[in-house]
Amino acid sequence: MEHQGFFRKYVFSYDHKVIGIQYLVTAMVMAIVAGGLAVIIRTRLAWPGVGAKALPPEAYISFVTMHGTLMVFFVVSLALSGLANFLIPLQIGARDMAYPFLNMLSYWTIVPACLIMLASFFVQGGAAAAGWTAYPPLSAVKEAVPGSGLGQTLWLLGMAIFIFSFTMGGLNFLTTILNLRTRGMTMRRMPITMWGFLVATVLAILSFPPLTAAALMLLADRHLDTSFFVTDMLIGGKYRALGDGTPLLFQHLFWFLGHPEVYVLVLPCICMVFDILPVFTRRPIFGYRPSVYSMLVIGVLSMIVWGHHMFVTGMNPYVGKYFSIATVIITAPFSVLGVNLLASLWRARMRFATPMLFALAVISAVGLGGFGGLFLGTMTSDIYFHDTYFVVGHFHLMIGTVTLLSIFGATYFWFPKMFGRLMDERLGRWHFWLTAGPMITIFVLMHMQGLGGMVRRTYDPSIYGYNQMNSVLRLPITFLAFLLFAAQSIFLWNFTRSIFRGAKATANPWEATTLEWVAPSPPPHGNFGDVLPVVHRFAYEYSPGEGQADFVPQTVEKTA
Please state the closest distance from residue 108 (CB atom) to another protein, in A. 18
Q: What is the CA radius of gyration of the chain?
A: 24
Q: Contact between 109 and another protein (CB under 8 A)?
A: no
- Per CB under 8 A, does 161 bind another protein? no
DSSP per-residue letters across 386-432:
TTBHHHHHHHHIIIIIIHHHHHHHHHHHHHHHHHSBPPPHHHHHHHH
Q: With binding defined as CB under 8 A, does residue 522 bind another protein?
A: no
DSSP state of 70: I
Query: Using CB under 8 A, which of 115, 178, 343, 503 touches another protein?
Result: 178
> Binding to another protein by residue 260, rule CB under 8 A?
no
Per CB under 8 A, the list member of 43, 246, 378, 471 interacting with another protein is 246
Determine if 206 is a binding residue for another protein (CB under 8 A): yes
Rule CB under 8 A: choose which of 249, 339, 427, 556 binds another protein: 249
Q: Give residue 495's region: left, alpha or beta (phi > 0; psi -120 to 50).
A: alpha
Measured CA to CA in angstroms, residue 531 lies from 187, 292, 450, 518, 525 at distances of: 21, 30, 57, 12, 13
Residue 244, interface with another protein (CB under 8 A)?
yes
- Stretch of 70-78, 211-219, 442-450, 495-503 contacting another protein, by CB under 8 A: 211-219
Q: Give the CB-side neighbour count of residue 39, counting CA atoms within 13 A.
A: 13
Residue of the chain from 9, 252, 429, 457 that contacts another protein (CB under 8 A): 252
Residue 122 and residue 132: Cα distance in Å, rounded? 18
Distance CA 153, CA 219 (A): 7
Interaction of residue 266 with another protein, rule CB under 8 A: no
Residue 204: CB minimum distance to another protein, A? 9
CA distance 368 to 407: 18
Segment interacting with another protein, rule: CB under 8 A, options 17-25, 48-56, 127-135, 251-259 = 251-259
- Rounded to whole angstroms, the Cα distance separating 55 from 62 reads 10
Which residues ranging from 63 to 102 are in contact with another protein (CB under 8 A)?
95-96, 98-101
Are 335 and 383 in contact, with CB atoms under 8 Å apart?
no
Kindly report whether the peptide bond that precedes residue 137 is cis, defined as omega within 30 degrees of 0.
yes
Return d(Cα 223, Cα 117) in angstroms, integer: 19
Residue with smaller CB distance to another protein, 250 or 390 = 250
With binding defined as CB under 8 A, does residue 453 bind another protein? no
Task: Compute the Cα dihedral for 280, 282, 286, 287 and give only its sign.
Answer: positive
Mark the segment that binds another protein (CB under 8 A) among 225-233, 291-299, 334-342, 514-522.
225-233
Shortest distance in whole angstroms from residue 269 CB to another protein: 23
Q: Is 12 in the site for another protein (CB under 8 A)?
A: no
Q: Using omega within 30 degrees of 0 as the cis cutoff, is the peptide bond preceding 522 cis?
A: yes
Is 490 a residue that touches another protein (CB under 8 A)?
Answer: no
243 binds another protein (CB under 8 A): yes
Among 49, 124, 224, 234, binds another protein (CB under 8 A): 224
For residue 426, give the amino acid letter.
R
* Residues forming the site for another protein (CB under 8 A): 14, 95-96, 98-101, 167, 170-171, 174-176, 178-180, 205-210, 212-214, 216-217, 220, 224-228, 243-246, 249, 252-253, 256, 525-526
